[in-house]
Amino acid sequence: MAWDAWGTGPAGFLAGLLIATVTSPVGVSGAVFLLPVQLSVLGVPNPAVTPTNLLFNIVSGPGALARYRDRLSGPLTRLLIAGTLPGVVIGAIVRVHVVPGPDVFRILVGLFLLPLGVWLCVRAARRPAEPGGSGPSPRFTTALALGVGVVGGVYGIGGGSILGPILVGRGLPVATVAPAALASTFLTSVVGALTYAVLSFTAEGDIAPVWSLGLLCGLGGLIGGYLGARLQPHLPERALRLILGLLASVLAVLYLIQGLR
């Protein structure tokens, strides 16, 4: 079924704009929260919703990356990219050939969002610890990035929204993690979207991205990310993390209920 660009395109643009405005101040692309909107509001079919979400990251990401252009060549960036790029290809193959059903997919979405939401809430509620030490080893970092890349390929996110909190929690400073995670998210989304486009020629069903929707959501996200970055110094970070955590937890519960019916 063709997606109605004229009917729901403006809603996609607005969704990308609002979500990115809220999430970009805390270093998250917003794709993790856009996917449920695509499924429930915009009516994007499975599994095309996943590469469409990756396309959103591709279009919306450059605005945030431009702010970190002087800090994108560090060793952490290379470690994350080395893990997430092959991981997202594996995740895309798993998504298309193993878990294409909507009920199973909703359960996976719920199982992913719930711990992420709880993690964000806990970190928002307690006083942030001062980063210290050398952080995780390169082997651990790459292995973590590989696992997150697989999850990102299945779920339709680049993985930075998972990598960031984990690495900061292991002692790395946010100033080091944020540009590396955003760069990883952007490049992983490019590879993931291309992988889904290739798989669309070898498997049945709606697998290729809904290009018009991904572009419209991404344009909204590009503007929203810029606005959020400008607003960030004036917003309480702890409150934003708590809001995002509660939102992710509520969405997780809803999808788990729907998937288990």
Break the chain into its structural domains and give their ranges: 7-260
Q: What's the half-sphere exposure (Cβ side, CA atoms, 13 Å) at 240?
A: 19
Q: Using pLDDT thresholds of 50, 70 and 90, give the confidence band for residue 99.
A: low
CA distance 252 to 97: 23
**Which pTM value belongs to this model?**
0.74
Beta bridge partners of 232: none
Residues whose CB falls within 8 Å of the CB of residue 196, separated by 6 or more in sequence, listed in order = 47, 48, 50, 51, 54, 92, 96, 207, 208, 209
Q: Which of 172 and 100 is assigned the larger pLDDT? A: 172
Show the tokens assigned to 200: 């669309």
CA distance 171 to 169: 5
* Highest-scoring range by mean pLDDT, 75-84, 144-153, 186-195, 239-248: 75-84
Of the chain, the end-to-end C-alpha distance in Å amounts to 25
249, 252, 254, 259: CA torsion to nearest 10: -160
Beta bridge partners of 47: 206
CA distance 19 to 247: 11
Per-chain mean pLDDT for the chain: 79
The pLDDT of residue 1: 42
The pLDDT of residue 131: 47
Q: For the CA atoms of the chain, what is the radius of gyration?
A: 17
In three-state secondary structure terms, 170 is coil
Per-residue pLDDT averaged across 116-138, rounded? 72
